[in-house]
Homo-oligomer: A and B are copies of this chain.
Amino acid sequence: MATIRDVAKLAGVSVATVSRVLNKTGYVNVETGRKVEKAIQQLQYEPNSVARGLAGKRTSTIAFILPDITNPFFSEMARGVEDKARELGYTVILCNSDDQGQKEKTYIEVLKKKYIDGIIIASQTLSSEDIQKMQQDQIPLVVMDRAPENQHCSVIRCNNYMGAKEAVAHLVEQGCCKIGHIYGPQELITARERMLAYEESVQGFSWYSPSLMEPGYFQLNGGQEAVKELLRRHPDIDGIFVGNDLMAIGVLKGLNQLGRRVPEDVAVCGFDGIALASMTIPELTTVAQPIYEMGELAALTLTQQIESTKPLPSVFELEPIFIERSSTRREPLA
C-alpha cells in the first residue's frame, strides 16, 4: 500500500502538504491541491487509520456497551447507533456487558488503550463515580436511560413514568378490575420508574394490594414464569402491565399455557415497542419507545461531543407513544 510519503514524492511536495489536503486543514494552493489529488488517485492512496490515530489521538471509532445484543430492544438500538455512526464516518465496537460492572470496567480499560473516541453505554451497573472517573479521562460519553441528574455526560432517555401511567390508565379504561404488574430488575431505573407509575396509578383502587406486583427478569422466560406466580396468588387478575415487551411475550405464552384467553380473560400491555410486538398472537399493546432513533441520537450526540472543542453534555428525554393493539382490546363490561 502506498504511504503519504509516496504521494508527496509523486506530487513533488512535502508530506505536510499532502496531510493538509487530506484533512482539508490549513491553506493550500489550488494548483498544488490538484497535483496532490492526482497523485492520490494514481497511487490509489488510502491513509492509514492506525498511524493517524497514533499521531492525532483520534481513531474514528466508538464503542457501544450494552447488556446483551441478543435482546431485540438492544439490537434495534445498536442498529440505530451503527447506521448513524457509519454515516458520520465512525466505526463501532460492540461490547456485551450482561449488566456486569466488572465486564464494563474491563471493557473500558481496553477501549481507552485503543484510543476509542467515545463510548455509548446502555448498561446500568456503572456507578456515578465510574462515570465521573471516565470524565477525568476526557473520554466523551453518552449514557442511555439514566436519571438526568447526571451532569457528567449526555443522557438519552424516555419518559418511562408517563408512558407507564398511560398504559395503566388504558387498562382501567378497558374495564379491568384487578390489574397486576410484572416489573424488571430494580437496579434499572427504567424498571423502577415504570413500577412507580403503576403503583401511583392503582393504589387508590379498593382492589389494590402490593402482592399484585411480581418481579421478573427482563427476558422471555422472566415473563412466562412471573405470570404463573402472579396468577397463582391472584387468580382473578384481569389485566397485567408488564415491564417490557420481551417479558410480555413470555406472559402471553404463560397465560396461554394456563388456559387464559388474551384479552378476553386477561388484558396484557407491554413496554418498549420492539418490532416483534406486532407479530404476536394476539398483537401486543405497548408503550413504544423510539428505539432506533434513540440509537441514532446517541451516535450523533457522541460524535458532536467528540468533534466540538468543548463538550456540551445535554439531556434528551423523548416521549414514548402508546400503541393499542388486540392484547387489550375488549368490549366494555356490561
Q: In the complex, what residue of chain B is closest to A111 when comparing beta carbons?
A: B91
Q: Which of B72, B79, B93 contacts A91 (CB 8 A)?
A: B93
Interface string of A82-118 (1 = CB under 8 A from B): 1100000001111110000000000001111111000
List of B residues within 8 angstroms of A113 by Cβ: 46-50
Q: Which of B69, B112, B252, B275 contacts A69 (CB 8 A)?
A: B69
Q: Which of B51, B82, B93, B115 contacts A96 (CB 8 A)?
A: B82
Q: Which of B54, B91, B109, B276 contacts A46 (CB 8 A)?
A: B109
List of B residues within 8 angstroms of A249 by Cβ: 279
List of B residues within 8 angstroms of A47 by Cβ: 113
Q: Let me know if A189 is at the binding interface, CB within 8 A.
A: no
Those of A232-247 within 8 Å (CB) of chain B: none
Contact assessment for A110 and B93 in the assembled complex, using a CB-CB cutoff below 8 Å: no
List of B residues within 8 angstroms of A70 by Cβ: 72, 75-76, 79, 275
Q: Let me know if A186 is at the binding interface, CB within 8 A.
A: no
Residues A91 and B114 in contact in the complex (CB < 8 Å), given A50-B53, A256-B281, A281-B256: yes
In this complex, the member of A69, A83, A250 whose beta carbon has the largest number of chain B beta carbons within 10 angstroms is: A69
Residues A279 and B220 in contact in the complex (CB < 8 Å), given A75-B75, A92-B94: yes
List of B residues within 8 angstroms of A72 by Cβ: 70, 72, 75
List of B residues within 8 angstroms of A54 by Cβ: 48, 50-51, 53-54
Q: In the complex, what residue of chain B is closest to A47 when comparing beta carbons?
A: B113
Contact assessment for B68 and A59 in the assembled complex, using a CB-CB cutoff below 8 Å: no
Residues A61 and B114 in contact in the complex (CB < 8 Å), given A70-B76, A72-B72: yes
List of B residues within 8 angstroms of A224 by Cβ: 279
The smallest C-beta distance from A316 to any residue of chain B, in angstroms, reads: 22
Tallying the copies of this chain within the complex gives 2
List of B residues within 8 angstroms of A220 by Cβ: 275-276, 279
List of B residues within 8 angstroms of A48 by Cβ: 54, 113, 115
Residues A78 and B53 in contact in the complex (CB < 8 Å), given A70-B275, A249-B279, A276-B276: no
List of B residues within 8 angstroms of A46 by Cβ: 109, 112-113
Residues A83 and B96 in contact in the complex (CB < 8 Å), given A69-B69, A69-B75, A91-B114: yes
Q: In the complex, what residue of chain B is closest to A221 when comparing beta carbons?
A: B279
Residues A94 and B93 in contact in the complex (CB < 8 Å), given A48-B113, A79-B68: yes
List of B residues within 8 angstroms of A93 by Cβ: 61, 91-94
The smallest C-beta distance from A264 to any residue of chain B, in angstroms, reads: 15
Q: A93-B93, A281-B281 are in contact. List 16 more A-B contacts (CB 8 A).
A: A46-B112, A48-B113, A49-B110, A49-B114, A50-B114, A53-B54, A69-B79, A72-B75, A83-B96, A92-B94, A220-B279, A252-B281, A253-B279, A253-B281, A256-B281, A280-B280
List of B residues within 8 angstroms of A61 by Cβ: 93, 114
